[in-house]
Amino acid sequence: MYKYNDFDEAFVRERVAQFSAQVSRRVDGSLTEDEFRPLRLMNGLYLQLHAYMLRVAIPYGTLNSRQMRALALIADTWDKGYGHFTTRQNIQFNWPKLTDVPAILSALADVQMHAIQTSGNTIRNVTADHFAGAAADEITDPRPIAELLRQWSTDHPEFQFLPRKFKIAITGSPHDRAVTKAHDIGLRMVTNDAGETGFEVIVGGGLGRTPLIGHVVRAFLPEADLLPYVEAVLSVYNLLGRRDNKYKARIKITLHETGAAELTRMIEDRFAELKPTFSGADQHLLADIRAAFATPVFKTAPTKAHDALRASDPVYRSWADTNLAPHRNPDYAIVQVSLKAPGATPGDASSDQMRTLADLAQFWGHDELRISHEQNVILPHVHKGDLPAVHAILKKAGLATANIGLISDIIACPGMDYCALATARSIPVAQQIAQHFDALDLEHEVGEIKIKISGCINACGHHHVGHIGILGLDRAGVENYQITLGGDATESAAIGEKAGPGFAYDEVVPAIDRLIRAYLTLRLEPTETFLTAYRRLGPAPFKAALYPEERDRDAA
């Protein structure tokens, strides 16, 4: 894992000192809220519905055990004993007091973490495939590039006042687990005909009020050109991006207003100017960073404990079959730890659970943890012989729910339970759907399905790319939920289509129930997933299930 050098350390400490002084000046009245607000946002501090909220970056979703324990300590000391993992690989603390935030930032700095650029019109936390460095299907670990981008973008003077926020995601696998097509820049590692690795550069994707799938501006970018190319994209956007209208300020709108061909030409021209100014220092730095991400030394040991327990214990088998993913080393597995026990708040972990996860990573997981954009925790390197022990401990901590990729593994934003921007709640909708299908014991039969819920049009809950998307709105002072169908967050990305009129708060679970029962009837065989069935049949039979009154009326 990357370790801060003296420069990083001094920079983060200096920022903590600056922010401490800014908080003091706000409290003694020397700074007005208008003056203070941009300063606190630069350091990830929002004012939400009931309290302040501190958003802490987990760069490319990677944590070690010491960092996870520090998050638990912060939750216990300055918050209410838990943290919320988000769809952008951040953790949010929902209850800090303003005057405690400098101490929290200092505690984060002790473990090489910070909240810098988790808000504001800057380049945000660079997110990555949560299986990076472990996945069987990966070309190479994308995290060294993500770390290079983090260092380059942090406090980059040219990109501190962009027209709008800017999100970059990266994956080293052809199978996209990082939603690269719905980011301002998506980087997908590919191999060319000569066998060299490079990147497919996707620009102008994004969700929110104008959901768009990104456009490929470069099909193959040699790895060594990555930084000047990304800088060229940012540079063109910084100049063209609209500052007159917040809702038209993202690069996806720039791309559509300028035209993909023209924008691509401008990026290539700027790249041609910038490339010679890169002396190669970035490549030296990248080589050093790479060394820090060296593959762990995997052990050779028997794996039969796993096979034996899988054969004899149905609970363990269900967990293993649902929550494990293939590791590049066949004796190892990627363990996905669900933060979605039925009735739990998606993405929330208590401080005790964080410490349990830290212990597991330290003793059985080569000291590595990942946070997925799907709001779960990953132990990327666990030897199969150790899986029974890991499972037993997870079970004790309430962390062994076998539902990864199933109907109760729901992405949900904080919604109106916390967020000042929300127009409706998301968390209780997620809880009720999960509990409903758990009570029916139906979710393994339903199989792979992604439900994603946002509490407002900004789409932090990625509802547009959910197989079933749910968007909470305020319709004349009442919560109302719009359902979209057929979205996809992977390499075959698609924006879901609005099914029809919205549903009242207490009509959402029955509507989802009708939809799922229709799918179970319509599918050709149990292996045909909801999304595949939707693609085969189109929306009509699913809409008919959602709106039976309309179907009955048409038939009459």
Partner 1 sequence: MSRFTPKVVTANALLEGDVVYFTEDGRWSRHHTEAELIEDEAHAQLRLLDASAQRNVVVGAYLADAKAGPRGPEPVHFREAFRTRGPSNYAHGKQEDPQNV
Contact 179, 491 (CB under 8 A): no
Q: Looking at beta carbons only, is 340 or 384 nearer to partner 1?
A: 340
Q: Looking at beta carbons only, is 26 or 167 nearer to partner 1?
A: 26
Contact 200, 218 (CB under 8 A): yes
**Smallest gap from residue 458 Cβ to partner 1 (A):** 16
**Smallest gap from residue 409 Cβ to partner 1 (A):** 17
Contact 57, 16 (CB under 8 A): no
CB atoms within 10 A of CB 448: 16
**Cα separation of 489 and 512, whole Å?**
20
Q: Looking at beta carbons only, is 336 or 345 nearer to partner 1?
A: 345
Q: Looking at beta carbons only, is 176 or 348 nearer to partner 1?
A: 348
**Smallest gap from residue 56 Cβ to partner 1 (A):** 17
Q: Looking at beta carbons only, is 48 or 490 nearer to partner 1?
A: 48
Dihedrals phi, psi of 531, to nearest 5 degrees:
-65, -40
**Smallest gap from residue 102 Cβ to partner 1 (A):** 13
Q: Looking at beta carbons only, is 22 or 127 nearer to partner 1?
A: 22
How does DSSP classify residue 89?
S
Q: Looking at beta carbons only, is 77 or 191 nearer to partner 1?
A: 77
Reading the block at residue 222, the tokens are 């040699």
Contact 126, 169 (CB under 8 A): yes
**Cα separation of 131 and 327, whole Å?**
9
Q: Looking at beta carbons only, is 337 or 427 nearer to partner 1?
A: 427
CA count, 13 A, side-chain hemisphere, 406: 28
CB atoms within 10 A of CB 191: 13
**Smallest gap from residue 477 Cβ to partner 1 (A):** 5
Please name the residue that has the structure tokens 């789409």: 459
Dihedrals phi, psi of 478, to nearest 5 degrees:
-130, 140
Residue ranges in contact with partner 1 by CB under 8 A: 26-27, 29, 32-33, 47-52, 80, 94-95, 97-99, 345, 348, 416-418, 425, 427-428, 431, 474, 477-479
**Smallest gap from residue 539 Cβ to partner 1 (A):** 31
**Cα separation of 492 and 509, whole Å?**
28
**Smallest gap from residue 461 Cβ to partner 1 (A):** 15
Dihedrals phi, psi of 151, to nearest 5 degrees:
-65, -40
**Smallest gap from residue 453 Cβ to partner 1 (A):** 13
**Cα separation of 192 and 170, whole Å?**
18
